[in-house]
Structure 1
Amino acid sequence: MPRPLTAIKGRGAVHNPKGRFEAQSAERESEFVETESPQTVLAVDHSRTVLTFNRSPDLPFDRSINPYRGCEHGCVYCYARPSHAFLGLSPGLDFETRLFHKPNAPEQLRRELARPGYRVAPIAFGVNTDAYQPVERRLQLTRRLIEVLAETRHPFMLITKATLIERDLDLLAPLAAEELVQVGITLTTLDEDLSRRLEPRAAGPKRRLRTIQTLREAGIPVTVSISPVIPALTDHELERILDAAREAGAVSGHYGLLRLPHELTEVFTAWLQTHVPGRAEHVLSLLQQMHGGAVYRAEFGVRRRGTGAFADLLAQRFRIAARRLGMDAPLPPLDTTRFRPPHLAGQLDLFSAP
């Protein structure tokens, strides 16, 4: 008999289920873990490219940068967790304790931006994992990448829930004045206790609101991302979050429904049964109502909003609240005309030699 699952201090997931590519007969030693928090391990990501392109109609950008794989914030609802299965690791505790970084990412970015066929469009940071997660304080990969974008006047957007972004105001404020950067701050709940359990190593909601205020005072346009909206757990806060974000200085907002692809269904269900057992069945039932009987559907246009009466009510509530607050328009477009390709060592050096 497996041991009952219990909350692990400082971690979001409560267990380490097998990834979908692992042999079913292989028994994962750490599937059920002790309550002592496992240590974080950092390894090198040897990817040969740093820009990732997509054709998703759900996204307002077609390229992104993720300096890190895995995320120590430990947000139990993170839709990026199943990507750890491609590394032969668990989307559970492994995702938040076994991290990978791209030490040569700034140099790779310079090479990719210098390619003759490159066409400029805004780059998004933090789409899969937070570019300002705790390890960034030491490694400074995100800051070095921003320095490359600042040098080349390349537009970009940052999506984060970390206060560490304030460290880079010296870079971001001048770029914002040239319409080259926007920031999205994620707020899932205003309940400090619930936030500690859902996203244990991320900044609390009050601190994130102060970050919004700090960014706006520096002249940086900020949108609030209310994501994910968890039915029967956080959906009642939708209007309150918009109100608080607007008061702090956010000028627009959007929301996204909880998404549970692949192994995330098991990871999140285990969290519900451990932390809020009385609501677990209700949460999953409402998700099923919004996804045609399944807890998740991956189709574009449906996965972030759902369908049915409850989904329609969420959309209506958001529209009314955003319109009331003047937050129903997107941020102004970023300027793509200022871009200048980076100079690489060796380019035209022959002609500049004495």
Structure 2
Amino acid sequence: MQINQSKPTITRWRSAAITAYLAMGLLSGFAAASEAVPQALERFQLGSMPVTGVGLRDGIVVSRHIKYQTDTHAFADKSLIEDVMDSGTYGAFDSTATLRGHNEQDHFISFQDRLTFSGSWSLKLLDGFVSNPTHSGTGRIYMRAGADIGDIKVTNGGQVDQNIGVIVQDLHGGANNAAIVLGQSTGHTIYSSGVAPSFHRSTLLFGPGNGPVINADARMTQEVRDLSRAEREVAENLKPLIKAYRQNGGGKIHVGVLAQDVMEAFKSEGLDAMDYAIINQEGDGLGVRYDELLAFIQATDTSRDMDVFYLAIILGLLASLVVVSALSYRRARRNQAEISRMDSELLDIRKALESR
């Protein structure tokens, strides 16, 4: 029998072959599953490398043996999407798995990178995740995010103890270690559209001229006022609170204030430190924002300088009054002497007239 090898026919045969192959993988997985061999009931394995143990529970396993040519990927999405007629959403990988039941689970992760490098040559780059898209059209992308982390939705009264967007564990295995490297040359290196960000138990290194910028636009502020007398008293009392200390566990000597001391200084003047942006709750502990603290303390120095200025003016006026008073006194004394001389002369004239 001659087979018509037109493109549509070949495509149909290819689709049927792939479907049959997948079905055999699913059926083989289902047939081999048992309590003795606890693999997934539905699984597909591509490749000849043996998979044992908990690896048999994985739904899709790529276990190829690749030699010599390595410009390849275990998973490659090369789809072409055009003439979209629906809501317009697409994801190369979409995890909507659900974990339920009453037993404790150790972890539930949609993507996990556990690469191993065991060669003796050099590897230029080992990346867990790379986002490097291309825009080659003429349309508009409203926003591009290399990683978009949204808030967790609590819908049934459950509890989330720690809700953290990004965690970078202690990196110390390299000759040089950096938790985050920012190579931004324009725009913002770190931008917060909400409350100003705080930094807790961290070391920040900024290049020359690239320190943090705090928003101070008058158009974006309200209730602008001078510090009250109680606030100035607090600021003055904060200066002696600067101490030298070490964090728990040792390390280098730090110079600064302790958050609890700052809170007590506010309390002593009838103020609540948590109403100000100086003290922040950082996890289980308290943190101090030194940009706010130093500006607060500096305000007292400015006020004190103005007090000295006004005092100097008052003292100058008093000195002028003393000089004017002294001159008036001397003038009055001189006038008094002149009057006495004139009285004496009149008395002499009177005696001369009476003697005649």
Instruction: Bin the TM-score by the shorter chain.
Output: under 0.3
- Larger RCO, structures 1/2 (Cα 8 Å, 6+ apart): 1
Larger Rg: 2
TM-score by length of 2: 0.22
